[in-house]
Amino acid sequence: MREINLEKISYELALRANINLRGDCVRLIDKAYKSEKSTLPKQALRIILENSVIAIEKKIPICQDTGLPLVFIEIPEGVKWERKYIDKINRGISKAYKEAGLRASTVHPFGGKTSFNPDIIHLEFSRRKTLSITVFPKGFGSENKSRLKMFNPTVSKDEISDFIVTSVRDAGPSACPPFFVGIGIGGTSDYALLLAKKALLERVDKPNSDEPLRLWERKLLKRINSTGIGPMGFGGNYTALSVKIKMHPTHIAGLPVGVNISCHALRSASFKVKADNVKVI
């Protein structure tokens, strides 16, 4: 019987997410750096890569905005779940933020003392056999640029593409390009935005397994990169590094589309374990 210590695991996930830039992100940034020709954007991409190395060496966060640490949990068959487990996860995250000096950016909407953790948990009962816990510190420079549009169900894909490209263009240099762009299509207003956020948790360097979506993502990326915003807004060929779309059934009367943008410092860390013979503590 393997013991799963939730407090310890979430502590480690919060540290890893904030300090170690995701491997799939590093690969895409590195690829862009190697192919960019223009001086200033190339220099920006080099500094982004250098930053990820310095963060690990100095054990300090990649970005001073250590975000709102969001939690995504997938509970498989055969694992009993209780409210107290969420408390343990929150405790682990808060402890990591406090001990490692990650910024306390959580605050009451109208001010007051800041804290570490907003207790935003997305819990899902899954058909997979794996228990999965993800900590996703979301920075607000990019989160502030989130967009939702409730389209008519008769809308064309081109109109949706226009909305997505405009949303990314409006995000502009202050949301820290090059971006990773998450798109949620379908569900309800809230669900489309949740899908968009979850899209950012997928491997951003891996093509979509659904062919029509893969082609659409590629087209969108090309259009976004033709805006010429580029790293830090310094121009060049890389305004975004990846576009990921997730879809879900929706109502016959509408078509919600959510856009969630991540800065180049897309940070998340996951723990996954086969759920047979485990004991959650």
Partner 1 sequence: MKKTVKLKTPLVDRIIKSLRAGDEVKLSGVIYTARDRAHKKLAGLLTANKTLPLDIKNAVIYYCGPTFCKGKLGSCGPTTASRMDNFLKPLAKAGLRATIGKGKRSYAVREIIKKHRGVYFVTYAGCAAYLSNFIKSYKAAAFPELGPEAIYEFNVVDFPLIVGIDAYGEDIYSDI
| Sole binder of partner 1 in the list 35, 77, 81, 101 (CB under 8 A) | 101
Query: Which amino acid, residue 228?
Result: G
Angular region, 141: left φ>0, alpha ψ -120 to 50, beta rest: alpha
**Residue 256 tokens, joined:** 């919600």
Q: What is the CA 6 to chain-centroid distance, rounded?
A: 22
Q: What residues numbered 192-251 form the site for partner 1, per CB under 8 A?
A: 227-229, 232-234
The order of strands in the sheet holding 179-187 is 147-151, 255-262, 179-187, 240-250
Minimum CB separation of residue 29 from partner 1 in Å reads 11
Minimum CB separation of residue 243 from partner 1 in Å reads 19
Shortest CA distance to 62 belongs to which of 94, 29, 38, 34?
A: 29
Q: Is 41 in the site for partner 1 (CB under 8 A)?
A: no
Helix residue spans in 100-249 (DSSP H): 140-143, 157-171, 189-199, 211-225
Give 160 or 175: the residue with its C-beta nearer to partner 1. Answer: 175
Binding span for partner 1 by CB under 8 A among 51-59, 75-83, 195-203, 242-250: 51-59
Binding span for partner 1 by CB under 8 A among 99-107, 119-127, 146-154, 199-207: 99-107
| Sole binder of partner 1 in the list 104, 120, 155, 247 (CB under 8 A) | 104
| Sole binder of partner 1 in the list 23, 78, 153, 172 (CB under 8 A) | 172
Preceding peptide of 178 cis, ω within 30°? yes
Minimum CB separation of residue 280 from partner 1 in Å reads 31
| Sole binder of partner 1 in the list 15, 33, 66, 200 (CB under 8 A) | 66
Shortest CA distance to 120 belongs to which of 134, 131, 130?
A: 134
First CA to last CA across the chain, in angstroms? 12
The order of strands in the sheet holding 121-125 is 121-125, 68-75, 130-138, 269-274
Q: Is 60 in the site for partner 1 (CB under 8 A)?
A: yes
| Sole binder of partner 1 in the list 84, 113, 211, 252 (CB under 8 A) | 113
| Sole binder of partner 1 in the list 34, 84, 109, 111 (CB under 8 A) | 111
Q: What residues numbered 131-170 form the site for partner 1, per CB under 8 A?
A: 139, 141, 144, 169
Q: Are 25 and 204 contacting, i.e. CB atoms less than 8 angstroms apart?
A: yes
Residues lying near partner 1 in the complex (CB under 8 A) = 40, 44, 47-48, 50-52, 54-55, 58-66, 100-105, 111, 113-114, 139, 141, 144, 169, 172-176, 227-229, 232-234, 263-265
